[in-house]
Structures are given as C-alpha cells and as structure tokens.
Amino acid sequence: MPGQGSTSKECVACRAIINVACKTCKICKAGQPHKLRLKKKLAKFDEKRESWVQTNKKNRTVSHIQDEANILLEKLQALGVRAMLFTAKPGKKQNTWVSEVLAPRCHLSANATACVDRMKDLYGFIVHDWVPQDATGPLDEPSSAPVQPPVGPVAPPDPQQTPVSLEKDDIAEEGCPAPSAVLQWKRKENMAAASPSDSVASLPRNVVIKTEPEAEDGPLFGPEDVPVKREPVVQLMAPVSGLQPLAWSQDHRLAVCTTSSLALMELVCDVHSNKQDLTLHRTSIPIPTESYKLRVGPAAELAQAMEKFSTHPDPAVRQVFLADRVMNPSVGVHKGIKYASWSPLGCDSSGRCLLACLTLDHRLTIHNSHKRLEWNMLVDLTKKYSERLKERGYAKKDNKPPQENLLDFDELQRRFRMQTPLRMEWSSVYTIKQVQPDNACKDMEMVLLAVLMENGDLVLWKFVLPFTNGADVMFYDIVESGVTRPSDLAWWEYESADRRMSGLIVGSEVGPVKIMPVSLSGVKGYFTLRHPVILWKECDEIAVENIKCVPMIHPIQKSKCSLIVASRGCYVFWCLLMISPAGLNVHNSHVAGLHSLPVVSLAVSQHGVAVYTCSIDGWIKKLTPTFTENTLIFKQEDMSRPENITGRRIHGIAVSHNGAYIALASTQGMVGGYHPINRTYQVHFVTLKTPEMAAALLLKSPTQNLYKLADLLDLVRWQILKNKCIPASLLEELDQKIQEVDSPYLWRFKLFLVRMLYQSLQTPPTDHCWKPTHKESKVFVRDEEEEDGQDEEDAAQVDGEPGGVKQEASQEEQMAEVQAWINAVETHLMRENIKKVLGVVYLNTWIAQNTSIPTCGLVDYLSRDPNDRASEVLIGHIKKKMNKQTFSERCSLCQEVLPFSDHKQAICKNGHMWLRCVLSYQACQTLTFRRCLLLDSIARLPEPEDPEWIKKILQAPCTLCDSPMI
C-alpha cells in the first residue's frame, strides 16, 4: 500500500513502479489489489461488531449514526458529489420494512421528487430479498456505478433549515402520488414528461419518506427530540400585549397577557375523563375599566405644571412632556396587561401561587384564586406605595424632603418615575423567627416581591404566608440601584449547605447588568453581598431583556453555581457565578449566531437545564450548557416545529415547571407576501419530553408529590389513553420500587396509572344525555311479504348476537378486574393514612379524650386485617389510652350512631348518608366543605375550636392524588 501522499506504488507481481491509480500492471498485466485501507477498516470493525452493536443499543445512540450519515452527505455535496442514501428499518408489523431516503440540503423539482419516491418504493422490494453477509466470510469489493445527477439546481446549505418529515400522504397533496404498479409509473412518467411542472419542491436534509402507513394501535410517539403538538389550540379573545406575554406557574397555570384581560389556563391531569386532549380550565382577570392616575402632589400645583410644560418655549422640554404617556395622559393610555409574575408554590391559603399583575397604565395588583375558577384582588400595591410616598413628602430613601416643587421639570419627572413600576419578581420562600406574646419563638414563612421602578429603585414588599388579607402586606425596604434606564429584573439566589445569599439582577436599556445586594434580617444562615456585582459593564445601547437565573451544580468542581442568561438583541448573554474560598468568580460571554432577528422571548427548563429562545419569525433554538473546567459552552440546536406552527409569528414562549411542555403565543405570518388584515392569536402546547422520559422522571423524582409533577403526569396519561394499556416496563419498575421503598407517593402513582387504564377501557358515549329524544310510538301496518322479510332479518340478528355479547362480556369482565385493582390500591392508601392519623391522635391526646376524629371507628376499621402487625401495635396503644371509653359519631338529623364501615361515606340506620373527610375521616355534616382539585375526595373546614394539631391535619393535600383542597 502506498504511503500517505504518494502517487506511485509497486506491482504485487513484478515489483515494477506503476501509478497508484492503476488497477492492472501495464508491464505484466497482473491485477492490483485496491481499497486496502477500506478492507483494513472493515476487518477492524468486524472484530468489535457485536460489542459495538450492544453499546449503541444500550446507550440508544442509533440516531447518532444516522446523523453521521447526514453529515457525510453534506460533505460529499460540498465536494461536488451529489449523493442520496436509501435505508430501511423493521416496521411495526412482522416482515415489514419502512424505507427512508436521506438527502443533503438541496432543491428538487416536482419531477425529481416523484422519481425519488419511485426509487424509494423499488428499494422497498429490494429489502425483502436482502441477505446480510457474514462478517467472517470473504470481503466483497464495494460496487460502484456512475449515477446521473438529480434534476434541478442545487442550493447552497442553509443553516436555518431544519429536518422535515414527508410522508406519502403529504407528497400526494403536492401532485406526486406514490405509484403502486409499474404500468402506473410509466403512464405518470409520460404525463410528467409531456407537461413538466415549473414549481420547485424544497427537499431539506433528513428527508424521511415513509412507505408503510402507521398502525392505528401502534405507539404514538416518534424520536425523543421530535416535539409533538397537543390539542387543543387555545384561541385568545384579544391580541397579546407586553414584552413577555407568557408566564407559567409552579402549580401549572399559564398566564397570557392580552389587551383586554389576563387570560389564565390551568393544566389539570383529569382522572375522570378518557379524552386524549389537554384538560385546560380557562379563566380571566379583566383589566379595570377606569384609568389610573398617579398622584405626585397637590392637584392645583399639578394642573399648573401640566399647563406650563405643555406650552413650554423650550422644544426639548415640551416634546418630552407631550410624548410621555405617564406625565401627559391626554396623549392616550394603552389598555392591557404589561407583565404577570407568579409566586412560589404554597403562598396562599390553599397552598398554591399568588399572581402579581401589572397593567399598561402602571397599576400593580396581587390576586389569588381561593375558590375554584374565581380570582380575587387582594391588594393594590401601586396605590399603597403612592400613599406611602405622599406621607413621606415624596422624599428619597434618605428622607430628605425635595427642594423643588412640581413646577420644576426634573422634579416632576422624578416623582412620576419613582412610582412607575416596570417589572416585578417574587423571591423564594424564607423561614424567619417571630416572637410570640409569651416570648416564644415561632417559625414563620415569608416571601418578598421586588418591584423595579422606572427611576431604577427596587421596592421590596413582604408577604407573611399564607397570605390571605391584603392589609397584611408590609413595606420591607427600598434599594437604589443607580440604573437610570432599567429594563428587566430577576432574583439571584445562592444556597450551599447552611449558607444562603441573594440579590436582585437589574438589566439596563443601554447594556450593563449588575446584581444589587438585598439585606434580609432574621433569616437563618443568610449572608449579604457587601457591594454590587457587575456582570456586564459595556454600554453598547443593546437592551437587556428576559433575564433568567438557574441554580446548577458544577460537575467537575462539585460545587453549586448560578447560571444567568438574558437576551440582548440577536444575542444571548450568559454569566456563570461560582463562590469559592477566594470569593465570587464571574464568567460571562455571549452566544452569537442564533437568530437573524432580535430575540423576543427566552425560557429556561430547570430540570435538565436547557435554554429556549425564539425570534419573531418563528424560529426556536435550544441551548444546552456543557461545563468545562473553568467555564461552559452551549450546544445549539434548532427545535423542529410542528407543521401548523411553521410560518407563524411568535410573540412569546414559556416552559412548564418540570419541562414537559412549551407554550407558544402566535399569530399569522405573511400570507401571500402580505400582512393579514385581521389577525387571530393562539396559544399552542408542544411537548418537550416523551412519555417514557416523563415516567422515568416521575419514578426518580425527589419531590414525591404528584400535583407538583402534573405536567409530566399528563404525558403518561396521554400515552395510556392512546395505547389503552400501561407500559409493562413502567409497571414492573414501579412494583420493584414499591417493594424496595413502600412510599405513599409510589402507591398514588400506581393508583393514577390504574385509573387511567380504567378510563381508556371505557367506550365513549354515542349520544348526548342532555339532548331530548323525539321518538314517538307509531303503529306500522305491513304486508305478509314484509312481515316474512322482517322475521328473517330478526332471525339473522339473533344469530349474530352471541359474538358481540361475548366481546361485551369480556370487556365488562376486564373493567371489573381493573375496578377491583383500583379499590385495592385505594384501600391500601387509606389504611396507611389512617395509621398516620391515629399516630397523631395518640401523641396529642390525654387519656379518654374525645376529639372530632372518630378514633374508635378507625381502630375497628384497621382491626379487620389480622395480618397487619403494625396496626395491631398501634391499636393496642390507642385502646390503652382510651381506657375502654367509646366516643361514637352521631347523625345530626336523627342522632343515630354513624358506623365506620366505609372510609368514603357514613350511613346511619335511618338512611342518612354523609361523606367522610379524607383527612380526618370525620363525617362532614355541614353544608360547606372543601373538595380536591381533581374531585377525588372532600375535606371539612377547620373550626375555631379545633386544636392546632387537627388544623395541621386538615391542611394536608388529598390522600389519593396529592391535589390541594379548594
């Protein structure tokens, strides 16, 4: 074999020097071996073939091999070689194959596309007679033949182009139907030659043309990296508004800012429905009808100042005043929602999130949803802060009264800007010590709301949890950032072991980004930054928007760190903060080359950190950070969009709490090269994970709460309803984990799976129960021939009934088995919770003390299982403390004893039925009670005379599904 770069070689027979490309010696005419390098590589591959196959199947990296083939095709095209790759993989049915065509990024005419389609069908016939060669046999020479280049011009590679999947039905719509016979091919070929099409079809890389139709009962999902659009598509009643119109809460509620209201959609993982669509509960918070005016001083003085500056002789002053909608409302105030921010989970009385809403007329309000689908305004912070400024004489933080009045333009601007909110963000929940009247210390939880004002001030409000009364909100502190033109705000929070630090990240319209210290007194282990931290100091007039902060763990240094990302025009700014013994280390840079237009929205998936960016043209990019020893790099990927989203204008994106879905607010793009006259605005939901990935995360989640993982749970629900079965691998792994760790969370997960299996087996109703029937009984007179024919039809119908009856009976038997499975899992969960409640009763009661909890009934209910040793021990301790006293529940209507025969309901001997509380197991004999979000169970309301330990029991979520009680 010639050396690298050599142009000559020796003949293997006569040792003469010949050209390296000669296949036969010109002197002795002996054949020369060729492609020795390829043979060596094939021999080396054969040695490790089996281990290589096992490794790729184990690590699921088969798709990486296909990616390498795509890169090879691109390289060949760059070198001037036009190549396509025909592949086939086993189909879902036995002895079937799915043919695929891989091509580089190019443009083919309609005729060329039809030819490729026919070649692909021919290749499907070849695959059936394919016999793989044994690796140990002789190596055949790879065959090669000249191939004519494809018809049509080849376009240069487009970096913005994404893989597209073209199925047979899609191609048929373009006028190139897939042939089914050779005769049909010839006829269509002649027709195409007679009337060639001038249209050019785009054929991007990774073109997958499937020949086998998908099985209806097959798996629904494709590769892991292919997003799937979920139904329904939510139509908005008004255009979206604000720079960041979407916000997704930790309790799975999506807020959409529009010009008429704040649209709210709650994702509910419904266990009582067999519909495969997303279950969304829609509500809205309307904007106030009356416009709000900021108060900056006496009304007479303000009117005099407005008259002065509206006719000021200096055009620099006059134009600034007239163009400012805040100082001069006569210009016209925009209507709509400017921004919405969700608090952490557990801030309201139901353990859910509070909602901060900022309107375009600068009104900041706090809302909560105490009842189902009902929103209440708790406090108007803009009004509260305006009253505080009025009491202080509109002084700064140093309490020095202003030297000028409203007739000074700078003073007028300062008073308006100091109370005009731009952004607001919630902190995480802090635990503080509060001294009680008896000098005892009690742990209290609080959360801070930081409000960024137009003049750069950061106003902090304190909310003691659970927050129910708007009058309880307290002004906490004000931080002067010194940023004259602020643009965005985010919290930076660092926690390591017993150390905790936090600050506020402030972005500017001119470019700089910095962290302002926040002093928190009374928080255990809290440290305060001494000075502001500059993250980016260049003033390049590129505004900072969409600031996000994500806590991470450095895999190399094994320490906690913080990743801060923000959009700056077409770029993404990132900053990595790491705390070492030497101090705070800051690494920053920009990711360039993402979009050709400015980034309009940025979202972060915190579980498996990924950053999603989008521009207004609809392109969505995914950035995955990868750590190096001292810094990090970002892997850039184009997120493939579903077909009906392609070409739409995107206004904002948001990722669900656990990264299962991404929501997109969009409207129509260009239609025929023109902007549409009327636009409709929609919200789309697209999956970011497959059900298999979601199930794996649910099994390994440290959260141990199904309600907090509802977005992942919904993907598993979708898979079960589609396939009408629980994945065997999931059920096997779940049972194994239950044997290892008998956790109530795993049992609730199993109950959810079995419930969804039961729903998937139910047949959908064919008629609506609410529709009235218009059938009337009529008497029909028939002839003898008609009667004979009718008798024959009835006889045939009777003969055909047994098959259908048998199938229906087997289905009913299967549903009865699943229902028995559900009852067994529910009983196990209830027995375990009863033990927990009785343990609390034993620890908090004296001898023979009567409580609202039916202790004797719970003891009798547990004693029915003689094999439960833990129950026997607990029952012995309870009976010893009860001292042979029995406190029976009685019906409030007839005063008869309510026996504890069922954990769901209680029925006295007179037939009065009462539902039992799922938390305390007391019969709810009142007109008002709470119900869980999924309508699984009820819980009674705590009474004022209840001790604290009973109130704590009643604060727990639902025993069956972890949902809050509303």
Q: What is the pLDDT of residues 822-861, one digit of tens each?
A: 999 999 999 999 999 999 999 998 877 778 899 999 999 9
For the record, the structure tokens of 154 come out as 């080849």
Confirm whether 305 is domain-assigned: no
**Are the beta carbons of 533 and 587 closer than 8 angstroms?**
no
Task: Specify the length of the chain in residues.
Answer: 966
**Are the beta carbons of 206 and 164 closer than 8 angstroms?**
yes
For the record, the structure tokens of 473 come out as 């909100």
In this predicted structure, the answer to whether residue 146 has a pLDDT above a threshold of 70 is: no
| 630 or 745, higher pLDDT | 745
Alpha carbons 424 and 287: distance in angstroms, whole number: 18
**Are the beta carbons of 389 and 418 closer than 8 angstroms?**
yes
Of 84-93, 584-593, 660-669, least confident by mean pLDDT is 84-93
- Number of compact structural domains in the chain: 4
Helix (H) or strand (E) holding 364: strand 364-371
Q: How many CA atoms lie within 13 A of 490 on its CB side?
A: 18
Confirm whether 375 is domain-assigned: no
Average pLDDT over the chain reads 83
In this predicted structure, the answer to whether residue 960 has a pLDDT above a threshold of 60 is: yes
Confirm whether 683 is domain-assigned: no
Same structural domain, 14 and 94: no
- Average pLDDT of span 795-810: 61
- pLDDT confidence of residue 369: 92
Same structural domain, 195 and 54: yes
Helix (H) or strand (E) holding 387: helix 381-391
Same structural domain, 825 and 901: yes
User: Angle formed by the axes of helices 315-323 and 299-310, to 10°?
Assistant: 120
Q: What is the DSSP letter of 591?
A: E
Same structural domain, 936 and 878: yes
- pLDDT confidence of residue 63: 78
Domain final residue, candidates 177, 194, 210: 210
Q: What is the DSSP letter of 953?
A: H
Tell me, what amino acid is at 13? A
- How large is the greatest C-alpha to C-alpha distance in the chain, in angstroms? 119
List the one residue out of 760, 695, 707 whose CA is nearest residue 734. 695
In this predicted structure, the answer to whether residue 938 has a pLDDT above a threshold of 60 is: yes
Which tens digit of pLDDT belongs to each residue from 198-228?
Answer: 333 333 333 333 323 333 333 333 344 578 9
Same structural domain, 196 and 55: yes
In this predicted structure, the answer to whether residue 382 has a pLDDT above a threshold of 50 is: yes
Using 50, 70 and 90 to split pLDDT, how confident is the model at 38? confident
Same structural domain, 845 and 957: yes
Using 50, 70 and 90 to split pLDDT, how confident is the model at 182? very low
Unique residue bearing structure tokens 């005016």? 293
% pLDDT > 90, the chain: 55
- pLDDT confidence of residue 376: 95
Rank 103-107, 210-214, 469-473, 502-506 by mean pLDDT and report only the highest: 502-506
Same structural domain, 58 and 30: no
Confirm whether 773 is domain-assigned: no
Domain final residue, candidates 482, 514, 543: 543
Tell me, what amino acid is at 818? V
Same structural domain, 12 and 126: no
Using 50, 70 and 90 to split pLDDT, how confident is the model at 82? confident
What is the pTM for the complete model shown? 0.75
Burial of residue 674 (CB within 10 Å: 0-12, 13-18, 19+) is: exposed
Unique residue bearing structure tokens 């028995």? 820
In this predicted structure, the answer to whether residue 528 has a pLDDT above a threshold of 60 is: yes
- pLDDT confidence of residue 773: 64
What residues form DSSP beta bridges with 642? Answer: none
List the one residue out of 655, 654, 658, 653 whose CA is nearest residue 710. 658
Alpha carbons 927 and 944: distance in angstroms, whole number: 17
Helix (H) or strand (E) holding 832: helix 784-844
% pLDDT > 70, the chain: 85
Same structural domain, 946 and 874: yes
- pLDDT confidence of residue 221: 37
Same structural domain, 16 and 117: no
Dihedral, CA atoms, 751, 753, 757, 758, nearest 10 degrees? 20
For the record, the structure tokens of 494 come out as 């660092």
Tell me, what amino acid is at 247? A
Alpha carbons 448 and 492: distance in angstroms, whole number: 13
Which tens digit of pLDDT belongs to each residue from 397-410?
Answer: 988 889 899 999 99
- pLDDT confidence of residue 768: 63
In this predicted structure, the answer to whether residue 800 has a pLDDT above a threshold of 60 is: no
- Average pLDDT of span 582-600: 91
17: alpha, beta or left? (left if phi > 0; alpha if psi -120 to 50): beta
Which tens digit of pLDDT belongs to each residue from 497-510?
Answer: 777 899 999 999 99
Using 50, 70 and 90 to split pLDDT, how confident is the model at 67? confident
Confirm whether 239 is domain-assigned: no
In this predicted structure, the answer to whether residue 290 has a pLDDT above a threshold of 90 is: no
Which residue pairs from 607-611 have beta carbons closer than 8 angstroms and sit at least 24 positions apart in sequence?
A: 607/658, 607/659, 607/697, 608/659, 609/550, 609/552, 609/563, 610/659, 611/548, 611/565, 611/572
- pLDDT confidence of residue 194: 31
User: Angle formed by the axes of helices 869-882 and 855-862, to 10°?
Assistant: 150
Tell me, what amino acid is at 537? K
Alpha carbons 820 and 383: distance in angstroms, whole number: 58
Same structural domain, 28 and 60: no
Which tens digit of pLDDT belongs to each residue from 398-452?
Answer: 888 898 999 999 999 999 999 999 999 999 999 998 888 888 888 899 999 999 9
Same structural domain, 77 and 31: no
In this predicted structure, the answer to whether residue 813 has a pLDDT above a threshold of 70 is: yes
Using 50, 70 and 90 to split pLDDT, how confident is the model at 32? confident
Q: What is the DSSP letter of 750?
A: H
- Average pLDDT of span 146-159: 35
Domain final residue, candidates 210, 230, 254: 210
In this predicted structure, the answer to whether residue 133 has a pLDDT above a threshold of 70 is: no
List the one residue out of 119, 186, 122, 115 whose CA is nearest residue 151. 115
Which tens digit of pLDDT belongs to each residue from 239-258?
Answer: 999 999 999 999 999 999 99
Which tens digit of pLDDT belongs to each residue from 704-719?
Answer: 999 999 999 999 999 9
Tell me, what amino acid is at 99? S
- Average pLDDT of span 190-201: 32
- pLDDT confidence of residue 195: 31
Question: What is the residue range of 537's domain?
Answer: 422-543
Q: How many CA atoms lie within 13 A of 271 on its CB side?
A: 23
Q: What is the 3-state secondary structure (H, E, C) of 536-585?
A: ECCCCCCCCEEEEEEEEEECCCCEEEEEEEEEECCEEEEEEEEEECCEEE
Confirm whether 736 is domain-assigned: no
Confirm whether 901 is domain-assigned: yes
Helix (H) or strand (E) holding 233: strand 229-235
In this predicted structure, the answer to whether residue 91 has a pLDDT above a threshold of 90 is: no
Q: What's the chain's Rg over C-alpha atoms?
A: 36
Confirm whether 318 is domain-assigned: no
Pairing of strands 97-102, 165-167: unpaired
Helix (H) or strand (E) holding 73: helix 62-78
Q: How many CA atoms lie within 13 A of 44 on its CB side?
A: 6
Alpha carbons 572 and 633: distance in angstroms, whole number: 12
